[in-house]
A and B are shown apart, each in its own frame.
Chain A
Amino acid sequence: MSDVMEADLHPKANEDVLAAIKWAAAEEVPLEVIGHGSKRALGRPTQTAHTLDMSSLTGVTLFEPEELVLSAKAGTPLSEIYELLEKHNQELQFEPVDLGTMLGGAVGFGTLGGLVNTNICGPRRLKYGSVRDHILGITAVSGRGEVFKSGGRVVKNVTGYDLAKGVTGSYGTLTVLTDIIVKILPKAETEQTLSIYGLSDAQATEAMALAMGSSAEISGAAHLPANLANGTAATLLRLEGFAPSVEYRIEALGKLLADFGTHERLDEHTSKAQWWAVRDCLPFAGETSPVWRISCTPSKGYRIVDAIKAAITADAFYDWQGGLIWLQVNEETAYADMVRAVVEANGGGHATLIRADAVTRQSVSVFQPQAPALTALSKRYRENFDPNGVLNPGRMVEF
């Protein structure tokens, strides 16, 4: 295969993608599928001789701001999409995450296809759902070398299985996406954050639950312990919306949480900066030690952190009302088994190893191992898209 012509694996049109995958399927040649490669450090490393580079399959093909819908080729740079949406005061409501800085790489890269394939979203997950909740339709080439579509351009759609969700977060192991239709929404008019100072992780959990259970309509609930927040722990509660509404709600929220200690209102500018840091996991930027992203029952988050810290040296902060833990292990080893055992013992959930060197990501399970019946089902599910295992083999699990 040394005479592979690179240009053929740089598709510029859907037909090129189809031709490449038909070839790979027929010859049983595994492909690593990448966009900008900005998320290459996520997941298990693949070991393939060939790379299908999707970064030239670009362009927004449909943009109807009044219909809240955008369709683009999978290789379209996110920066291009953000710029276009910005002009119309719109956005992707799920708050896409840019882990470039935390992973020690460049910022501002990434394609729409990469975003969908990784399904990692920011603080607004709590209120508005994840990437998967905003993908309306897809066109893709399966590992069989067949084009198929699922979903459409409308939000309300139950016609057939929702394979748009079914391939979101699949790290390119099922299909190569060519076209993605995504729901867009107007940006909130303004935002403010109520920041409460000096709470322990347990107190913060209580405060966040109380706030989330109120009618304050919070769109972000995070807690940074003292060592990650300039010496004073900060519990952040974000309110977005129309100015009079935000003003009214933050007033009510301040009263509701008055007993928890001193608090301060962060204006729009300061609030945005704070949430950017939480979203992109900036407290752990500049280091190389292992970072876990743990999804758990919100009220159990601090117990999980306590138990892990009792065993090893680690730092952690919380998003999603405590239901998302970013945990940095300040040691060489990732302690995968221990971390997962603690999660399991505290209400369950899953832990993903987000930052680790390639050797570690090859040797420990990056994604949470699943129960045997689910593992078998997932394997059959994958095989029905990609029977020969030519797309990103081994990227998620070994099969």
Chain B
Amino acid sequence: MSGLLMPALDQEVMSRRSQIVSALQSIVPGEGVVSDEHEMRVFESDGLTAYKALPFIVVLPETVAQVAEVLKYCSDNGIKVVPRGSGTSLSGGALPLEDAVLLVMSRFSRVLDIDYPNRCAVVQPGVTNLGITHAVAREGFYYAPDPSSQIACSIGGNVAENSGGVHCLKYGLTANNVLGIEMVTIEGEIIRLGGKHLEADGYDLLGVITGSEGLLGVVTEVTVRILQKPETARALLVGFPTSEDGGQCVADIISDGIIPGGMEMMDRPAIHAAEDFVHAGYPLDVEALLIVELDGPEAEVDYLIERVEEIAKKNKSSTLRISNNEDERNNFWAGRKAAFPAVGRISPDYYCMDGTIPRKELPTVLARMRELSDHYNLRVANVFHAGDGNLHPLILYDANVPGELEKTEEFGADILRLCVEVGGVLTGEHGVGVEKRDLMPEMFTEDDLKQQQRVKCAFDPDQLLNPGKVFPQLHRCAELGRMHVHKGNVPFPDLPRF
């Protein structure tokens, strides 16, 4: 992946740069167009920092009309556009292209309407995920999906990536918490899907846009469901002698009809790194550590804590602690929440992967991962959204050692292939972006991918929006749209003719 191939630069467009800058300045006046190389440097990378590219021009529009005009101008002039929220994508979804306008939505930062009776909030896409919760916290509400970057990531970016988080086991992903959007197509058309009502009409284009990684349109307004904060939350911290026991415990909790607010697992290397860093009191003699958080009415939480405790004991837990107050609960989480920086302390660099597997495959996958770790001679620590099978292996490496990044990426690719092999998927919540783009054929056939690209053609016929992301191969829409069958010219002569 380090030798990432991106779409050929459009030299013709690049030769018209000054003219394009002026045209964009006339649409977005003032500081809204950034064309100075030094000022554009801050945008050269997103959360996948291994990749950098200087944007062609950066535009920060302030109004929907400006977004529409910028997109229409780019569409009319064949200029590529890369949309960007806060730029926290871990898969390179917001990686700039050297011949593309980087459309930064951060000035869309207003909360437009909070509607408590209808339990929803209408916000601009640049509002941060946590910003929504802050805006409604006074009345005891919150926005449920909580990606770990929630302090910085924008809701527009969450829609683009269909972001998850620890709490999505119980409360769903972004797709399940968005009621409506306003978006602008590359042709500058403003389209509204859904709203404050519970279901959008017609084809579920809202479902398609959510998680489309900026390839289908630019979101300019989002209506989200807000929820009343659970009355209380308590957690169990449970250690197991083997990952099999931990995995079985997770399966038994869910089979029992219990959907915890969060259920996180760490393997031995992750436990040790976290404990060394934050001294949360994690047991060091276990192979798997499980945090189970139960939230809801006090009576329910107290009742379920006991049930989960029984299930854990039945599954040979070797250590078990139950939080009795908020300090203890936060302490249980402290190590898990600091897992990434903790791993960062024991290695110059780490690379975070994001596959999902059927839960029951966890022991197999961990065992195979250990073999791969030996093979590549690279350490790996695992944190795992255990309830939904979303695995985050952190591969430890040193970018200053020649060839080690490449080796790490190969290791990562092998892990994702393994996830697909056992019935899982390439990415659970970080997105495909450029990172997993070339692995898409591991999961999809050519026809699968062509049908997806045809959907793109319906939204973006000239493929100007975020090209080079998600799909390993670009096909022109005319080619994709061609029917290989024509009336009277049937290519399957052996098929039965009714």
A-side interface residues toward B, CB under 8 Å?
Answer: 1, 3-5, 8-9, 19, 22-23, 25-28, 64-69, 89, 119, 125-126, 129-130, 132-133, 142, 144-150, 152-163, 165-166, 168-170, 174, 185-189, 209, 212-217, 241-242, 244-245, 247-249, 252, 295-299, 320, 323-324, 347-350, 352, 367-368, 370-371, 373-374, 377-378, 380-385, 387-388, 396
Task: Return 21 A-B CB contacts under 8 Å, by A number.
Answer: A22-B485, A119-B204, A146-B451, A158-B431, A160-B443, A165-B207, A169-B203, A186-B254, A213-B228, A214-B228, A216-B297, A241-B300, A245-B297, A295-B201, A323-B198, A348-B196, A349-B197, A370-B201, A370-B202, A378-B202, A381-B205
Whether the pair B208, A162 counts as a contact (CB closer than 8 A) is yes
**Which listed residue, B185, B198, B444, touches A125 by the CB 8 Å rule?**
B198
Whether the pair A68, B254 counts as a contact (CB closer than 8 A) is yes
Whether the pair A161, B254 counts as a contact (CB closer than 8 A) is no
Whether the pair A67, B359 counts as a contact (CB closer than 8 A) is yes
Give chain A residues whose Cβ lies under 8 Å from the Cβ of B278. none
Q: Report the number of A-B residue pairs with Cβ-Cβ less than 8 Å.
A: 303
Q: How far is the CB of B156 from chain A (nearest CB, A)?
A: 16
Q: Say yes or no: is B138 at the interface (Cβ < 8 Å to chain A).
A: no
Given A23-B495, A65-B255, A153-B423: A245 in contact with B356 (beta carbons within 8 A): no
B229, B297, B298, B357 — which one has the most chain A CB atoms within 10 A of its CB?
Answer: B297
For the complex, what is the distance from the CA of A24 to the CA of B252, rounded to whole Å?
48
Given A156-B429, A320-B198: A298 in contact with B455 (beta carbons within 8 A): no
Give chain B residues whose Cβ lies under 8 Å from the Cβ of A158. 161-162, 164, 173, 211, 427-432
Give chain A residues whose Cβ lies under 8 Å from the Cβ of B303. 242, 244-245
Given A66-B255, A163-B455: A297 in contact with B211 (beta carbons within 8 A): no
Q: Say yes or no: is B119 at the interface (Cβ < 8 Å to chain A).
A: yes
For the complex, what is the distance from the CA of A244 to the CA of B306, rounded to whole Å?
13
Whether the pair B428, A156 counts as a contact (CB closer than 8 A) is yes
For the complex, what is the distance from the CA of A363 to the CA of B198, rounded to whole Å?
27
Give chain B residues whose Cβ lies under 8 Å from the Cβ of A148. 445, 447-448, 450-451
Q: Say yes or no: is B389 at the interface (Cβ < 8 Å to chain A).
A: yes
Q: Say yes or no: is B116 at the interface (Cβ < 8 Å to chain A).
A: yes
B-side interface residues toward A, CB under 8 Å?
Answer: 115-119, 139, 141, 161-162, 164, 168, 172-173, 175-176, 185, 189-193, 195-199, 201-205, 207-208, 210-212, 216, 228-231, 251-252, 254-257, 259, 296-300, 303-304, 356-360, 385, 388-390, 423-432, 436, 440, 443-445, 447-452, 454-459, 470, 480-481, 483, 485-487, 489-492, 495-498
Give chain B residues whose Cβ lies under 8 Å from the Cβ of A188. 257
Whether the pair A374, B191 counts as a contact (CB closer than 8 A) is yes
For the complex, what is the distance from the CA of A387 to the CA of B484, rounded to whole Å?
11
Q: How far is the CB of A351 from chain B (nearest CB, A)?
A: 9
**Which listed residue, A245, A323, A384, touches B197 by the CB 8 Å rule?**
A323
Whether the pair B447, A146 counts as a contact (CB closer than 8 A) is yes
Given A168-B204, A187-B257, A215-B230: A385 in contact with B451 (beta carbons within 8 A): yes
Give chain B residues whose Cβ lies under 8 Å from the Cβ of A396. 202
For the complex, what is the distance from the CA of A399 to the CA of B175, rounded to whole Å?
28
For the complex, what is the distance from the CA of A298 to the CA of B225, rounded to whole Å?
13
Whether the pair B210, A156 counts as a contact (CB closer than 8 A) is no
For the complex, what is the distance from the CA of A301 to the CA of B444, rounded to whole Å?
44
**Which listed residue, A125, A161, A186, A348, touches B255 by the CB 8 Å rule?**
A186
Whether the pair B198, A324 counts as a contact (CB closer than 8 A) is yes
For the complex, what is the distance from the CA of A381 to the CA of B185, rounded to whole Å?
13
Q: How far is the CB of B158 from chain A (nearest CB, A)?
A: 11
**Which listed residue, B116, B304, B432, B491, touches A159 by the CB 8 Å rule?**
B432
Q: How far is the CB of B494 from chain A (nearest CB, A)?
A: 10
Whether the pair A245, B296 counts as a contact (CB closer than 8 A) is yes
A144, A156, A377, A381 — which one has the most chain B CB atoms within 10 A of its CB?
Answer: A156
**Which listed residue, B197, B299, B443, touches A297 by the CB 8 Å rule?**
B197
Q: Which residue of A lies closest to B163 (CB)?
A: A158
For the complex, what is the distance from the CA of A295 to the CA of B498, rounded to whole Å?
43
| 4 closest A-B pairs by CB | A165-B207, A245-B300, A186-B257, A248-B299
Whether the pair A217, B296 counts as a contact (CB closer than 8 A) is yes
Give chain A residues whose Cβ lies under 8 Å from the Cβ of B447. 146-148
Q: Which residue of A lies closest to B216 (CB)?
A: A161
Whether the pair A217, B297 counts as a contact (CB closer than 8 A) is yes
Q: How far is the CB of B383 from chain A (nearest CB, A)?
A: 14
Whether the pair B204, A23 counts as a contact (CB closer than 8 A) is no
Give chain B residues whose Cβ lies under 8 Å from the Cβ of A320. 198
For the complex, what is the distance from the CA of A126 to the CA of B227, rounded to whole Å?
12
Give chain A residues whose Cβ lies under 8 Å from the Cβ of B299. 244-245, 247-249
Whether the pair B296, A162 counts as a contact (CB closer than 8 A) is no
Q: How far is the CB of A216 from chain B (nearest CB, A)?
A: 8
Give chain B residues whose Cβ lies under 8 Å from the Cβ of A152. 356, 423-425, 443
Give chain A residues whose Cβ lies under 8 Å from the Cβ of B162. 158, 162
Whether the pair B176, A156 counts as a contact (CB closer than 8 A) is no
Whether the pair B452, A297 counts as a contact (CB closer than 8 A) is no
For the complex, what is the distance from the CA of A286 to the CA of B118, rounded to whole Å?
33
Whether the pair A371, B195 counts as a contact (CB closer than 8 A) is no
Given A150-B448, A153-B358, A215-B229: A368 in contact with B118 (beta carbons within 8 A): no
Q: How far is the CB of A298 from chain B (nearest CB, A)?
A: 5
Give chain B residues whose Cβ lies under 8 Å from the Cβ of A388. 483
User: What would 7 more interface pairs be, CB under 8 Å, given A22-B485, A348-B195?
Assistant: A64-B360, A165-B204, A165-B208, A166-B208, A217-B297, A350-B201, A384-B458
Whether the pair B429, A215 counts as a contact (CB closer than 8 A) is no
Whether the pair A156, B389 counts as a contact (CB closer than 8 A) is yes
For the complex, what is the distance from the CA of A36 to the CA of B202, rounded to whole Å?
23
For the complex, what is the distance from the CA of A163 to the CA of B210, rounded to whole Å?
11
Whether the pair A170, B203 counts as a contact (CB closer than 8 A) is yes
Q: How far is the CB of A324 from chain B (nearest CB, A)?
A: 7
Give chain A residues whose Cβ lies under 8 Å from the Cβ of B491. 26
Q: Which residue of B lies closest to A387 (CB)?
A: B483
Give chain A residues whose Cβ lies under 8 Å from the Cβ of B173. 156, 158
Given A66-B360, A133-B172, A373-B191: A383 in contact with B388 (beta carbons within 8 A): no
Q: How far is the CB of B69 from chain A (nearest CB, A)?
A: 15
For the complex, what is the distance from the CA of A213 to the CA of B228, rounded to whole Å?
6
For the complex, what is the distance from the CA of A277 to the CA of B431, rounded to whole Å?
42
Whether the pair A145, B485 counts as a contact (CB closer than 8 A) is yes
Whether the pair A213, B451 counts as a contact (CB closer than 8 A) is no
For the complex, what is the distance from the CA of A272 to the CA of B292, rounded to whole Å?
31
For the complex, what is the distance from the CA of A169 to the CA of B196, rounded to whole Å?
19
Give chain A residues whose Cβ lies under 8 Å from the Cβ of B426. 159
For the complex, what is the distance from the CA of A3 to the CA of B459, rounded to whole Å?
41
For the complex, what is the distance from the CA of A212 to the CA of B118, rounded to whole Å?
9
Q: How far is the CB of A326 from chain B (nearest CB, A)?
A: 14
Whether the pair A160, B452 counts as a contact (CB closer than 8 A) is yes
Q: Which residue of B lies closest to A370 (CB)?
A: B202
For the complex, what is the distance from the CA of A378 to the CA of B390, rounded to whole Å?
33
Whether the pair B425, A157 counts as a contact (CB closer than 8 A) is yes
Whether the pair A132, B304 counts as a contact (CB closer than 8 A) is no
Give chain B residues whose Cβ lies under 8 Å from the Cβ of A296. 197
Q: How far is the CB of A278 from chain B (nearest CB, A)?
A: 15
Q: How far is the CB of A20 from chain B (nearest CB, A)?
A: 8
Q: How far is the CB of B259 from chain A (nearest CB, A)?
A: 8
Q: Which residue of B lies closest to A149 (CB)?
A: B448
Q: How far is the CB of B497 from chain A (nearest CB, A)?
A: 7
Whether the pair B451, A189 counts as a contact (CB closer than 8 A) is no
Whether the pair A378, B203 counts as a contact (CB closer than 8 A) is yes
Give chain A residues whose Cβ lies under 8 Å from the Cβ of B423. 152-154
Whether the pair A295, B198 counts as a contact (CB closer than 8 A) is yes
Q: How far is the CB of B428 from chain A (nearest CB, A)?
A: 4
Whether the pair B427, A368 counts as a contact (CB closer than 8 A) is no
Give chain B residues whose Cβ lies under 8 Å from the Cβ of A186. 254-257
Whether the pair B297, A215 counts as a contact (CB closer than 8 A) is yes
